[in-house]
Amino acid sequence: MDALSAVLQGLPMTIMLTLSAFSIGIVGAVPLAVGLSSSNILVRLASRLFVDLVRGVPIIVWLFLLKFGIQIGTFKFNPVGAAIVGLGVVSIAYLAEIYRGGLQSVPRGQGEAAHALGLTGGTTFYGVMVPQAFRIVSPSIATYLTGLLKDSSIASTIIVTEMVFQSQAFARQHPTVEGILPYIMVGILYIALSLPVAYLSRRLDSRMRKAVSV
């Protein structure tokens, strides 16, 4: 088997990890973002602490903690489970911060106008603030997704059979010059995989700009 096929064997796992963690993050970040913008100072501080703590510890440490450190009765995380939960929780923290930034960037006048028109809090939030915040942050979310794709490679250190793990395996079996190929292939693959996301993000961004340009 040549280097490329060996590496591609890990591709489904890489994609699965990325998308699972991303889904967890996209959804889980919503309540946390609300917490970060809360008027209740305790809620806000607790959310802030959570986000800063999760982002302040390297991903590899979280993965090892989950895989080796958690033993509740007979329950232990298997490598893939640890990776998905770990990457998922980290995504929640990063995306919550992105959401918060977006909500803050919506011009204050929007909220005031909605108020003056008599719209309720809920309608204002979901009908006025969120759509505009989403437009502002979708490039950041796309950028985060490409970052998450790369971070999925860290799962290789806890024996998850994604692309980098497969590269390592191949390189170990091929002590000759051929053994450098998987690393080059996998690097190119990651770069190539991030291109469609960047492209979609630009398309989405310009479509949204046209829709809301004043």
Partner 1 sequence: MTWLTEWAGYLPQLMSGLAVSLLIAGISIFFGYPLGLVLSLMVTAKNLAVRTLGLAVVEIGRGAPALVILYLFYYGLPKFGIAFESITAACLALTWNSAAYSSEIMRAGLQSVARGQLEASNALGLSQRDTFFRVVMPQGMRSAIPGLMGVAIQMFQGTSLAYGIAVPELMKTAYNIGSQDFNYLQIFTLAGLCYAVISMPATWITVFFEKRMARHT
Residues that bind partner 1 (CB under 8 A): 52-53, 55-62, 64-65, 68-71, 150-151, 153-154, 156-157, 164, 167-168, 171, 175-180, 183-184, 186-187, 190-191, 194
Helix, strand or coil, per DSSP, at residue 76: strand
Minimum CB separation from partner 1 for residue 70, in Å?
7
Is there a contact between 63 and 82 (Cβ–Cβ < 8 Å)? Answer: yes
Chain-centroid distance of CA 209 in Å reads 24
Distance CA 140, CA 101 (A): 10
Of 114 and 186, CB closest to partner 1: 186
Distance CA 110, CA 121 (A): 12
Residue 165 structure tokens: 């793990």
Of 80 and 151, CB closest to partner 1: 151
Token pair 């291109």 is at which residue?
195
Minimum CB separation from partner 1 for residue 125, in Å?
25
Cβ neighbourhood burial of 38 (10 Å; 0-12, 13-18, 19+): middle
Minimum CB separation from partner 1 for residue 131, in Å?
25
**Please, where are the H alpha helices in 66-107?**
79-105
Of 68 and 126, CB closest to partner 1: 68
Minimum CB separation from partner 1 for residue 52, in Å?
5
Of 44 and 125, CB closest to partner 1: 44
Of 71 and 74, CB closest to partner 1: 71
Minimum CB separation from partner 1 for residue 185, in Å?
10
Residue 49 structure tokens: 């602490």
